Amino acid sequence: MKLDFLVRNVKVIIGLSACLHHVLSTILSGTYQQFALADEPRYRTVCQPVVFPLQPQLKIQNTILCYSFCIRNSSCTIFSVAGNMCSLWSFQTDPSYGAVTMLRPTVVAYWPKRTAPVTVIDIAMGKPVSVGSTSGGFGPGIMMTAGTTCYQTWKDCFCSGGSDNWAVVDLQAEVPIRKVVITGPTLGLVSYFENVTLRAGVTGQTTDPFIGQTLSTPATMSYPTYTFAIADGNVRYLRLQNEVASFGICACKVQAFL
């Protein structure tokens, strides 16, 4: 009798687990979609996630368990699963992130499902960046084209040294770019976003056409944006430099649009 009672309870538990798994899987597929998160090791340093160990003995997929942690955490915007570890990320990805092939290693992650297709692609996203110098403690130039926004510390942005104060984004093909958007640093560093010249052309040198220059007065807010229009022609390289003085430049993001 006792054995029969135990067997029946086990069957009930298995049935409830299967039912719960089906319901949660439906919710997951309906509200979240899979994408490739690039360069996860860097994000673990700069955009540190909240990490939960999962219990493998439970008969529910780890992805579902991680999802349940995410929806209970108000700061969770992305989640990823590696083995029995669930990571809840609180940084933003640009709208076209999932539509771009990133050069750096990627891992499977999940974000809220988009209801509309991506129609505007940031051509600069994921592209390599060359720099003349990097100021100590700041992020590498590639952070400007990562397609993400942490901004938890100043390390999330690139800053050059006083000399060799330039950065060049290589779009890896000549394309008819018509708009470039540059995001500056935090308020305490906005002076390094002044007098930044943008040149766009096919050499990446100071001989490329002059497109414009940021204001010579400091911004009054953190992470200011500056938009440049390019009238015509094809572009492969976007060059940023303070050509007025031997003064460092800081930028968090460079975006290029057709």
The DSSP line for 117-134 is ------TTTT--EEES--
Write down the pLDDT at residue 106.
Answer: 87
pLDDT (mean) for 209-227: 83
> How many CA atoms are closer than 13 Å to the CA of 173, on its beta-carbon side?
5
In a domain, 122, yes or no: no
120: left (phi over 0), alpha (psi -120 to 50) or beta: beta
pLDDT (mean) for 233-257: 92
Write down the pLDDT at residue 7.
Answer: 39
In a domain, 138, yes or no: yes
The token pair that represents 155 in the structure block: 């390390």
Q: How many domains does the chain have?
A: 2
137: left (phi over 0), alpha (psi -120 to 50) or beta: left
For the segment 117-166, what is each residue's pLDDT rounded down to a tens digit? 788 899 999 999 999 998 888 888 998 999 988 766 667 789 998 889 99
Write down the pLDDT at residue 103.
Answer: 77
In a domain, 65, yes or no: yes
Predicted confidence band at 15 (pLDDT cuts at 50, 70, 90)?
A: very low
Residues near 15 by beta carbon (within 8 Å), at least 6 away in sequence: none
| Residues of the chain above pLDDT 90, percent | 40
Judgement on whether residues 177 and 224 belong to the same structural domain of the protein = yes
Residue 23 has pLDDT above 60, yes or no: no
Judgement on whether residues 98 and 138 belong to the same structural domain of the protein = no
More confidently predicted of 192 and 169: 169
Angle of helix 62-71 relative to helix 2-31, nearest 10 degrees, comes to 60
Look at residues 65, 61, 87 and name the one whose alpha carbon lies nearest to residue 76: 87
Judgement on whether residues 108 and 133 belong to the same structural domain of the protein = no
Write down the pLDDT at residue 105.
Answer: 84
In a domain, 118, yes or no: no
- Residue numbers of the domain that contains 192: 129-257
In a domain, 120, yes or no: no
Judgement on whether residues 230 and 138 belong to the same structural domain of the protein = yes
In a domain, 79, yes or no: yes
In a domain, 119, yes or no: no
Predicted confidence band at 9 (pLDDT cuts at 50, 70, 90)?
A: very low
Residues near 79 by beta carbon (within 8 Å), at least 6 away in sequence: 66, 67, 69, 70, 86, 87, 88, 89, 109, 110
pLDDT (mean) for 212-235: 85
Q: What is the mean pLDDT of the chain?
A: 83
How far, in whole angstroms, is CA 71 from its chain's centroid?
Answer: 21
Judgement on whether residues 240 and 150 belong to the same structural domain of the protein = yes
Judgement on whether residues 77 and 156 belong to the same structural domain of the protein = no
